[in-house]
A = this chain, B = another copy of it.
């Protein structure tokens, strides 16, 4: 039976005493377009070598590979082979579709790329993640409160949250909804909105949170750790 992704992630964080998720987002320089495969693989190999002692997981964003066509995606496939088996990988793909199409995405993510976890969009609802969650042990991080400046245009819209809470921000309703989809669900919550992080952590004390936006995007490491950690000092990935 396949090990549960979030158990593997917890082991990796424990063993490396780290909360760090390392992005693998290769962007080619002007002179590198003649051999995108070699350029991408070389960059990623260097990043992996330099970060392996303290990276509890890696997160390639598929967009950077797809931008280089088939050679880029071949480089993604071979990059995944460079990552040691015991180190978890989240494929940042933000997928979301329904029915047969969602099953096709499950096949692509978990049978072709063979990753343990992927990011998904919540917009099509539970049906869009069900075929992915049906894969034993696989994990999903659902987009909830993203770190871009204008994310709030939609995600902070006030929605009717039911009897219990009246109007709540959309991201909060999504957090509760997504958490109800199964145990192999985590949330993407940017470090750029600490209040959102606190509120969702209070509502969902056990859920894993993937927390981008620290540093260049303005999120504070210290505040994110304080707001996002579970009471056992785990459950948070920073990048």
By a beta-carbon cutoff of 8 Å, the part of chain A in contact with chain B is 25, 27, 61, 63-64, 66-70, 73-74, 77, 94-102, 104-105, 107-108, 111-112, 121-128, 143, 146-155, 157-160, 167, 170, 173-174, 177
Copies in the complex: 2
**Chain B residue contacts of A112, Cβ below 8 A:** 66-69
Give bound CA distance, A46 to B165, whole Å: 54
Contact of A150 among B96, B125, B160 (CB under 8 A): B125
Q: Are A70 and B64 in contact (CB under 8 A)?
A: no
Contact of A128 among B77, B148, B158 (CB under 8 A): B148
Q: Are B154 and A177 in contact (CB under 8 A)?
A: yes
Q: Are A70 and B67 in contact (CB under 8 A)?
A: no
| Nearest-Cβ distance from residue A19 to partner chain B, whole angstroms | 22
Give bound CA distance, A160 to B157, whole Å: 7
